[in-house]
Amino acid sequence: MQSLRKITIILCITGSLLLLQSLNWLSPASANAMLSAESETTNLTESSSAALSLYGTFHAMGVNVNISIAEDPDRDAAANIEYRTGSNPYQPGFPLSRVSLTRFSGSLFWLSPGTSYDVRVTFSDPDGGSLNGKVLQASGCTRADLEIPIPNRTYFVSPSGSGSACTQNNPCSLTQGISQVQAGEQVTLLGGIYYAGEIQIPRSGNSGAPIVIRGMTGQTAVLDGSDPADFPWTLVKNGIYRTTVNTADAHLVTANGSRLFPYISYSDLSNHLWGIPGFFADNTTVYVRLAGNADPNSAEMVVSRYNHAFLVEQDYIYFLTTRQFDSS
């Protein structure tokens, strides 16, 4: 049995709330099942050694398919997925990815909570053989939507908030509100961009009294993990530019909204080892090479300064929106 270790949940959700609990990590292939509780498949169909498993969350469903090595010895088979509700026609999902010699994994997104889905996986193998044309089917349910109780107290925060009153007319900072909130209470973010991250939730809620962190109705609150400073870029050579940032070893850099590939050394970036736009971070010096050796001073450049938005190791926490954080 694989050993268990604690993981950090990093939230990247827009416009909805999610119940987060402390979870244990089993293996990379189980990533799609992390937020599911006991929503295992029903009506499981097996053919030979191939088997299909589904894991429902609120708006998504993890999909795992196990096969035997003998069914695809040269590892060139593909697994296409379709899904439906009730008697509606099947619609295609994104093809499953092979994550090991004997496993394909993937996810279905934008599903409805508390809904049963029929899932069908069809294999194709250019070599023919026992796997080619094989169809696996299973049914699984997404989790029912959550009912949020009326909070006992609300702490209002804003990007420019200060003090400890945390009222709507006198909001405090996000970290101040988070430090005060108790089980059954709520932190409401007034509209604006919060350049913040690596915030630790100090305590848990409980099943009847969760801790809620949400945006103000009718306003847009965004946690942005990027550094808001403007950084001038200096040409080094051969389309490589550099700048000095405020946080060491940034792991995320984007240019005009496109994520740059993280090269592991300056030499690899200079030699354009992978032939794609990228960056290399050496302490607080960041080097970039954009498509066509473009000048980053003419691009919208974003350099992340936080590894994650929130550290959640507690139970019954409801959440909001984040963007531009180092880790995925």
The verdict on pTM exceeding 0.75 is no
Average pLDDT of every residue of the chain: 84
In angstroms, the CA 87 to CA 69 distance is: 35
In angstroms, the CA 273 to CA 271 distance is: 5
Give the lowest-confidence range in 31-45, 86-100, 187-201, 268-282: 31-45
- At 320 the pLDDT is 55
Vertex 173: Cα angle to 168 and 176 (nearest 5): 105
- At 29 the pLDDT is 34
pLDDT, tens only, 220-253: 898 899 999 999 999 999 999 999 999 999 999 9
Enumerate the domain spans of the chain: 22-141, 154-221+314-323, 234-303
pLDDT, tens only, 67-95: 999 999 998 999 999 999 999 999 999 99
Of the pLDDT bands very low, low, confident and very high (cuts 50, 70, 90), residue 201 is: very high
Residue 266: pLDDT over 50: yes
Domain made up of 22-141: CATH architecture: Sandwich (2.60)
Residue 34: pLDDT over 70: no
> Could you tell me which CATH class the domain 234-303 is placed in?
mainly beta
Residue 197: pLDDT over 60: yes
- Confirm if 57 and 107 have CB atoms less than 8 A apart: no
- At 41 the pLDDT is 38
Q: Which residue has the higher pLDDT, 270 or 324?
A: 270
Q: Is it true that 22-141 and 234-303 share their CATH fold?
A: yes
- Once rounded to an integer, what is the mean pLDDT over residues 138-156? 92
- Confirm if 162 and 173 have CB atoms less than 8 A apart: yes
- At 157 the pLDDT is 97
Residue 2: pLDDT over 50: no
- Once rounded to an integer, what is the mean pLDDT over residues 108-112? 94
- At 12 the pLDDT is 30
pLDDT, tens only, 152-195: 999 999 999 999 999 999 999 999 999 999 999 999 999 999 99
- At 325 the pLDDT is 54
Residue 97: pLDDT over 70: yes
- Once rounded to an integer, what is the mean pLDDT over residues 295-313? 92
Residue 261: pLDDT over 90: yes
- At 226 the pLDDT is 92
